[in-house]
Amino acid sequence: MSTYIAGVDIGNATTETALGKVEAGALMQCTKGIAPTTGIKGTKENIRGILHSLKAAAEEMDIPLTQLDLVRINEATPVIGDFAMETITETVITESALIGHNPDTPGGLGLGIGKTIDIRTLEEAIQEEEYIAVVPEQVDFSAAAQIINTQWQRGIKVRGAILKKDDGVLVANRLIQVIPIIDEVESIERVPLGMICAVEVAAPGRCIDLLSNPYGIATAFGLTPKETKQIVPLAKALIGNRSAVVIKTPKGEIRERRIPAGEVMIQGSQRVYRASVDHGAEEIMNAVAKAGDIADVTGTQGTNVGGMLEKVRGEMAALTEQERSEVRIKDLMAVDTIVPKEVQGNLANEFAMEKAVGIAAMVKTHKLHMERLAEALASELKRPVEIGGVEGTMAVIGALTTPGTEKPLLVLDIGAGSTDACLMKEEGETKAVHLAGAGNMVTMMINAELGLQNAQLAEEIKKFPLAKVESLYHIRHEDGTVEFFQEPIDSQYFARVVIMKPDGWKAVAAKKSLEVIRQIRREAKEKVLIRNILRALKRVSLTGNLNEFEYVVLVGGSSLDFELGNMVTEALAHYGIVSGKANVRGVEGPRNAVATGLLLSHLSQHEER
Amino acid sequence: MILQAKCTVQEATIAQEVGYGIEEEGIPYAVEKEKGFSAEDVYHQAQRSPLGVCILVEDARIWLFARMLKEKRPLFLMEIEQLAQAREMGKNAARVIKHRPFV
């Protein structure tokens, strides 16, 4: 007689089922089901997702749900992760002092220095002064050109122009002399009049030379050595631009401010380690490494980092119905990054690259309420439901069905919120670790470094390869291969970087080249995932020496990532470790490991009896 | 290249605005006026034009043809309501040549 046993793995994102037909203690046939997890993992809302997943597997097996003899659900690892980004420097321009600007098509060429003046009052200008004309929206390009030409004939020295509209080239083409013209200055009304201003436009293909050099700015404005020191962040922000405007107001100042970003206090097994967020990720990670077994982590109150750690604690407390004070943060991961931030007091949405630190935290509590979920599921299904083994152990049992693996085996499960590693030794003994920082953190890094402010887009950049639409008929993939099409490509993608999603393309709005986006994507994965994998290996290792591992397999959703598998193989090959994506039961790929483990562990329990 | 179909004042204004758009992007262009230009002519002009782009202004409608499109259909076909749209079309025409994303 055959019995039907189902293993159900409720993950943060998906609920997976492995349904087995068992005859005389041997697995005859196995089918799978997958459905999105409904509600937060470990709550009764999960039941809908579980039923969907079970039904899919049962349909494939061609049995009704009522014929199930046993449903085994995982004892979920009560781990939750969260992350935050903390900017530690900020460029502030006070009194609209000095701005940089880089429109697509500036006009003219060269460097012009003079007092800012509204073009409509240029008739009142005097011959002894030098001027920079400020052209508001109301004055169109031909009128602006005409006024400047007339004033030149009158002997007025107009040395450059700043335009609100995108008319720079049009004005330049109608002038009798060549002067630098900057256009697309969004907040032209904020340009102070009667102030000394320098405008620089470089030739096509060149970068500005004078205004990106602190001494160049000092020369233009006659700055003192002390003042020159202050404008370094400005010069830095202008490097690589084709054009720039710098205006000096008497009281104006620009500075790079270091924001007090707070401290993290890591309660180790022996003592408390403190690390200042301002000093970057390295100091925090050193403290984490020194602390060893972390008892809890707190942050300075009233700072971003403090707030974020308390938020994680609060969420976990609410989820598990525990007191806030009982929830402990068990791991922390920090990563240095550089993010574009809008300059405070800017005139045309200028950005400056600021240093920031990304932080992920992980919380462990008592068991999630899986018993309650099991009871609810049993009454819904009217079939027996039991809680199987620990998630990590189940994952290893499932992963061991991958052809070419053997014990001792280390299984890495890179999820959305945490990176879990479980080592099974030859005798079957297991050791599991859970680390903060995983898929979601990579998404956050991509989002921040590209300045997208769109987590959905960042997630897609993380998941799928890129291509550049080179003409209306062909694209170049990120590896350099060219693909041609019979039908013309939609004009909205023309000359853009697109994400090659399986269900269609998506244009990336960021003004970054494909190479830069790709590099940021890979670096984010390297900084978070690869580093975390190495950290996980060190933690489970007995000797601290990575060469002791032989087989490492990746399971879980993140291992479906198109490039992560290869990145891990590359990184671990260095230590002589065989690593790669799992192929559960030889057919499932990296999915279904825990569900399969739940099913198989039931069979082996029976054998023992 | 910009062609005008009926040589009306309206067409001339729109064609000029398209021209400004092309000029701002730094691409050279020429304007031709001849009564009775049709979409078909513009397609053939686009094939012959050195930069491979040709625009027809017919009343308030703009047809933008690019050589690389083999079928006889325009890259853009737009009814102009504001002159700013004509300027944008000019920019787009230039961007086909410059390989920059459209406005």
Nearest to A491 among B24, B71, B75 (CB): B75
pLDDT given at position A2: 84
Å between A465 CA and nearest CA of chain B: 20
CA distance B6 to chain A (A): 26
Count the Cβ atoms, other than its own, within 10 Å of residue A224: 9
Give per-residue pLDDT as tens, A273-308.
Answer: 998 887 888 888 889 888 888 888 888 887 777 877
Q: Which chain A residues touch B24 with a CB distance below 8 Å? A: 105, 166-170
Interface residue A141 vs chain B (CB under 8 A): yes
Quickly tell me which residue has 């825990």 as its tokens: A594
**In this complex, do B24 and A471 lie within 8 Å of one another by their Cβ atoms?**
no
Residues 101-140 of A with CB under 8 A from B: 104-105
* Residue B40: pLDDT over 60: yes
**Separation of alpha carbons A179 and A110, rounded Å:** 6
pLDDT at A6: 93
Residue the block writes with tokens 């490509």: A489
Tokens 């269609």 sit at which residue? A504
Instruction: Name every chain A residue with its beta carbon within 8 A of the beta carbon of B20.
Output: 141, 170
Burial of B52 (0-12, 13-18, 19+ CB in 10 A): middle
pLDDT of residue A314: 82
CA–CA distance, A247 with A194 (Å, rounded to integer): 10
Nearest CB among B23, B26, B69 relative to A488 is that of: B69
Mean pLDDT of chain A: 85
Residue A7 in 3-state DSSP? strand
pLDDT tens digits for range A170-211 = 999 999 999 999 998 888 887 888 888 899 999 988 888 888
Give the mean model confidence (pLDDT) for residues A439-464. 90
**pLDDT band (50, 70, 90) for residue A95:** very low
Question: Between A534 and A344, whose confidence is greater?
Answer: A534
Q: Is the predicted pLDDT of residue A430 greater than 50, yes or no?
A: yes
Kindly report which listed range (A12-26, A92-106, A580-594) carries the lowest average pLDDT score: A92-106
| pLDDT of residue B68 exceeding 80 | no
The full DSSP string for A386-430 is EEEEEHHHHHHHHHTTSTT--SSEEEEEE-SSEEEEEEE-TTS-E
Mutate to test the interface with A, among B18, B22, B23, B24 (most CBs of A within 10 A): B24
* pLDDT classification of A89: cutoffs 50, 70, 90: low
pLDDT tens figures, A363-420:
776 655 678 888 889 998 889 999 887 788 888 999 999 998 888 889 998 887 788 8
Decide: A353 and A338 in contact? Cβ < 8 Å. yes
Whether residue A94 has pLDDT greater than 60: no
Q: What is the pLDDT of residue A259?
A: 60
The 8-class DSSP code of residue A191 comes to S
Chain B residues within 8 A of A166 when measuring between CB atoms? 24
Instruction: Give B86→chain A minimum CA distance, Å.
Output: 14
Residue range A32-38: mean pLDDT, rounded: 90
Torsions phi, psi for B63 (to 5 deg): -110, 130
Q: How many CA atoms lie within 13 A of A318 on its CB side?
A: 7
Q: pLDDT digits over A155-165, tens only?
A: 999 999 999 98
Classify residue A589 as exposed, middle or buried by CB count within 10 Å of its CB (0-12, 13-18, 19+). middle
Phi and psi (nearest 5°) for A123?
A: -65, -30
Task: Sort out which chain B residues have CB atoms less than 8 A from A470's CB and list them.
Answer: 99
Task: Look at residue A371 in the predicted model and tell me its pLDDT.
Answer: 80
- Which helix or strand (DSSP H or E) is residue A22 part of? strand A14-23
Q: What is the pLDDT at residue A51?
A: 93
